[in-house]
Amino acid sequence: MNKNIQLYLGDNKKILKQIDLSMVDLVITDPPYNQKYKYNLYKDNLTEKKYLELLSVIIPPCVMIHYPEETLNLFPKLFGRVAQVVSWVYNSNTGKQHRLISWWDCQPDFRKVRQPYKNLKDKRIIERIKRGKVGAKLYDWWEIQQVKNVSREKTGHPCQIPEKVIENIILTTTSENDTILDPFMGSGTTAVVCKRFNHNFIGIEISKEYLRIAIARIKAYNKEVKQ
């Protein structure tokens, strides 16, 4: 499709054997949560052993999006010590209203992304604004709403990650022209954000339906940029 965007359809374990992983700077992924959700062709009701095998394709340094309770005890078995954890919070109609974003064998720099100051009447904040400061560094919790049915970026994928979440990860953790790998690509959110910030991207997806969605999103982005 594009010289810096490579999309693959099929089993990620088999496809990864064909890829020169030494060229990959960071893995960013939102793997299945093993919560009996419907993920098209993914099996989401695995034994712990099988689930660990599924996640074994994720190679540090990596950043993962996941539910906390079900995965925190499992990830150290594969990846060692966690370097940073962020809570991603949102409003929803379900009992779970936050996920974790965890960094393994890499460290984000939250100073690279600024957010609006909260207490604009604070004398210290007033002084910072006078000096030209545009906001505070990112906190270790991100309030970013899920992709709703009415969202501009909504696709046919049932568990789509907001572009803003991936944008924060990329801006705080990577450098321009880095190569990002996502072995559970889904709807291609990370691919689109990589395009936006001049990164190379390698995505693997087992579902033809989700791959078509990812391709359509990238084409739509390319068309938008050319206008």
pLDDT band at 1 (very low <50, low <70, confident <90, very high): very low
- The pLDDT > 90 percentage for the chain reads 60
Give how far Cα 200 sits from Cα of 5, 77, 117, 175, Å: 6, 29, 33, 11
Question: What value does the mean pLDDT take over residues 142-153?
Answer: 85
What pLDDT was estimated at residue 227? 65
Q: Which of 184, 144, 139 is nearest to 27 (CA)?
A: 184
Question: What value does the mean pLDDT take over residues 49-60?
Answer: 93
Q: How far out from the chain centre does Cα 205 lie?
A: 15
pLDDT band at 155 (very low <50, low <70, confident <90, very high): confident
Phi, psi of 143 (to 5 degrees): -90, 95
Q: Where are the domains of the chain?
A: 5-226
Give the pTM.
0.90
CATH topology of domain 5-226: Rossmann fold (3.40.50)
Tell me the per-residue pLDDT of 22-38, one tens digit each, with 9 for 90 and over. Answer: 999 999 999 988 887 76
Instruction: State the Cα–Cα distance between residues 87 and 96, nearest whole angstrom.
Output: 12
